[in-house]
């Protein structure tokens, strides 16, 4: 199998606080993890690509100081939303690609984290 979990599944926080979201590959090693943001009824927006042991690569328009990504091990990546504001409220999804993906580059998705900033 290829199971990806996210924690928490939903979180409510006050404006100005920081929130950390964890993404774990449960039964495989992932050298690359991706963080997406999904708005209601819209497609996924890639925020950043995270490679184990190196700095994340952020997409254009995504503030790296606001969305801190750490990929410290082959099974865990974290996204920290710093000084959250109501406009950061969204559905955050991570995906992971197997360490020995070969040419497939298939990504396995987590269930997502619903963030609401009040």
Partner 1 sequence: AQSVSQHNHHVILSEAASLELGCNYSYGGTVNLFWYVQYPGQHLQLLLKYFSGDPLVKGIKGFEAEFIKSKFSFNLRKPSVQWSDTAEYFCAVNANAGNNRKLIWGLGTSLAVNP
Comparing CB distances to partner 1, the nearer of 14 and 60 is: 60
CB of 11 to partner 1, least distance (A): 17
Taken in order 86, 13, 24, 113, the sign of the CA dihedral is negative
Distances (CA, A) of 12 to 42, 68, 94: 22, 18, 19
3-state secondary structure of 51: strand
Residue 43 burial (CB count, 10 A): 8
Write out the residues near partner 1 by the rule CB under 8 A: 32, 34, 41-44, 46, 49, 51, 57, 93, 95, 103-112
Nearer to partner 1 by Cβ, of 14 and 43: the residue is 43
Residue 48 C-beta: closest distance to partner 1, Å: 10
**Which residue, 61 or 86, has its beta carbon nearer to partner 1?**
61
């Amino acid at each position: 199998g290829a199971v990806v979990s996210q924690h928490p599944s939903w979180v409510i926080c006050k404006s100005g606080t920081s929130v950390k979201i964890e993404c774990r590959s449960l039964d495989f090693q992932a050298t690359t993890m991706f963080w997406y943001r999904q708005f209601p009824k819209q497609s996924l927006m890639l925020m950043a690509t995270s490679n184990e042991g190196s700095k994340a690569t952020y997409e254009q328009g995504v503030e790296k100081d606001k969305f801190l990504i750490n990929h410290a091990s082959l099974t865990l990546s974290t996204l920290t939303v710093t000084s959250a504001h109501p406009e950061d409220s969204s559905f955050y999804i991570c995906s992971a690609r197997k360490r020995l993906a070969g040419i497939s580059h298939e990504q396995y998705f987590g269930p997502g984290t619903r963030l609401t900033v009040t």
